[in-house]
A and B are shown apart, each in its own frame.
Chain A
Amino acid sequence: MSAVIESHDHEHHHGPAEGLTRWLYTTNHKDIGTLYLWFSFAMFLIGGAMAMVIRAELFQPGMQIVEPEFYNQMLTLHGLIMVFGAVMPAFVGLANWLIPMMVGAPDMALPRMNNLSFWILPFAFFILLSSLFMEGGAPNFGWTFYAPLSTTYAPPSVTFFIFSVHILGASSIMGAINVVVTIMNMRAPGMTLMKMPLFVWSWLITAYLLIAVMPVLAGAVTMMLMDIHFGTSFFNAAGGGDPVLFQHIFWFFGHPEVYIMILPAFGITSHIIETFSRKQLFGHTSMVWAMTSIAILSFVVWAHHMFTVGLPLAAELFFMWATMLIAVPTGVKVFNWVTTMFRGSITYETPMLFAIAFVVLFTIGGFSGLMLAITPADFQYHDTYFVVAHFHYVLVPGAIFSIMAAVYYWIPKWTGNMYDERLGRLHFWLSFIGVNVTFFPQHWIGLAGMPRRVPDYALQFADWNMVSSVGAFLFGASQILFLFIVIKTVMGGKKATPEVWEGSRGLEWTVDSPAPYHTFTTPPKVT
Chain B
Amino acid sequence: MFKKIINSINNKLSAVLLLIFSSKSFAAWDDLNMTEGVTAISKEVFDLHMLIYWICVVIGILVFGVMFYSMFAFTKKKNPTPSKFHENTKVELVWTIVPFLILVLMAVPASNTLTKIYDDTEGDINIQVIGYQWKWEYKYLDDKIGFFSNLTTDWDEIYNKTPKGEFYLEEVDEPVVIPVGKKIRFLITANDVIHSWWMPDFAIKQDAIPGFINTAWTIVDKPGTYRGKCTELCGKNHGFMPVVVKVVPQEEYDLWVISKKEEAFKMAELTQKEWSAEELIERGEGVYQKNCVACHQVNGQGIPPIFPALAGSDIVLNNKAKHIEILMEGVQGAAMQSFANQLSEVDMAAVITYTRRSWGNAEKGDGEIVTPKDIVEYKKPKV
A454 within 8 A of B: yes
Q: Are A360 and B164 closer than 8 Å at their CB atoms? A: no
Given contacts A146-B233, A282-B86, A286-B92, contact A308 B207 (CB under 8 A): yes
In the bound assembly, the distance between CA atoms of A444 and B53 in angstroms comes to 13
- Contact between A379 and B203 (Cβ–Cβ < 8 Å)? yes
Interface contact A149-B233, CB-CB below 8 Å: yes
- Measured between beta carbons, the chain A residues less than 8 angstroms from B207 are 308-310
Number of interface residues of A (CB under 8 A): 99
* Residue A20 is within 8 A (CB to CB) of chain B in the complex: no
A367 partner residues in chain B, CB cutoff 8 A: 56, 59-60
Inter-chain contacts of A359 with B (CB < 8 A): 67
Closest residue of chain A to B197, judged by CB?
Answer: A308
User: Contact: A335 with B198, CB < 8 Å?
Assistant: no
B250 at the interface (CB under 8 A from A): no
Interface residues in A64-87 by Cβ distance below 8 A to B read 64, 67-69, 72
> Considering the complex, which residues of chain A in the window 273-319 have a beta carbon less than 8 Å from any beta carbon of chain B?
277-286, 308-310, 313, 316-317
Other-chain residue from B45, B60, B66, B164 in contact with A363 (beta carbon distance below 8 A): B60
A332 at the interface (CB under 8 A from B): yes
Q: Which residues of B contact A346 (CB under 8 A)?
A: 70-71, 74-76, 79
A-contact 0/1 string along B197-209, CB 8 Å cutoff: 0101001111101
Contact B95 A242 (CB under 8 A): no
Residue of B nearest to A62 (CB): B160
Q: Which residue of A lies closest to B23 (CB)?
A: A463
How far does the alpha carbon of A237 sit from the alpha carbon of B56 in the complex, in Å? 41
Interface residues of B in 198-256 (CB under 8 A from A): 198, 200, 203-207, 209-212, 214-215, 228-240
Q: Does A189 contact B (CB under 8 A)?
A: no
B193 at the binding interface (Cβ < 8 Å): yes
Interface status of B298 (Cβ within 8 A of chain A):
no
- B35-71: contact bitstring with A at CB < 8 Å (1 yes, 0 no)? 1000000001100110011001001100110110011
Q: Which residue of chain B has the shortest Cβ distance to A290 in the bound complex? A: B96
Return the chain B residue nearest A71 by Cβ: B236
The answer, yes or no, to whether A320 is at the interface (CB within 8 Å) is yes
One digit per residue, 1 when the CB lies within 8 angstroms of any chain B CB and 0 when it does not, for chain A 329-342 equals 00110110011111
- Whether A463 contacts B48 by the Cβ 8 Å rule is no
User: Of residues 33 to 67 in A, which have CB atoms within 8 Å of B's CB atoms?
Assistant: 61-64, 67
Which single member of B45, B83, B211, B238 contacts A376 (CB below 8 Å)? B45
| A313 proximity list for chain B (CB < 8 A) | 114-115, 118
Give the residues from 328 to 349 in chain B that come closer than 8 angstroms, CB to CB, to chain A.
333, 335
Which of A338, A375, A377 counts the most B-chain CB atoms under 10 A from its CB? A377
Partner of A380, one of B45, B96, B304: B45
B113 within 8 A of partner (CB): yes
The stretch of A3-11, A152-160, A488-496 in contact with B is A152-160
Is there contact, CB below 8 Å, between A449 and B236? no
- Please name all residues of chain A whose beta carbon is closer than 8 Å to the beta carbon of B92 when the two chains form the complex: 283, 286, 332
Within 8 A of B (CB), among A372-386: 374-377, 379-380, 382-384
Kindly provide the distance from the CB of A435 to the nearest chain B CB, expressed in whole angstroms: 17
- A456 beta carbon closer than 8 Å to chain B: yes
The chain A residues found within 8 Å of chain B, CB to CB, are 61-64, 67-69, 72, 135-136, 140-142, 146, 148-149, 152-153, 155-156, 237-238, 241-244, 277-286, 308-310, 313, 316-317, 320-321, 324-325, 327-328, 331-332, 334-335, 338-347, 356, 359-360, 363-364, 367, 370-371, 374-377, 379-380, 382-384, 444, 447-449, 451-464, 466-467
Other 4 A-B pairs with CB < 8 A, given A238-B211, A282-B85: A377-B52, A447-B33, A449-B35, A466-B23
**What are 26 of the A-B contact pairs (CB < 8 Å)?**
A62-B157, A68-B238, A68-B240, A146-B194, A148-B210, A308-B206, A313-B114, A313-B118, A316-B118, A324-B106, A327-B99, A334-B63, A346-B74, A356-B67, A364-B60, A370-B52, A374-B110, A376-B48, A382-B196, A382-B205, A383-B196, A449-B229, A454-B238, A461-B27, A463-B17, A464-B32
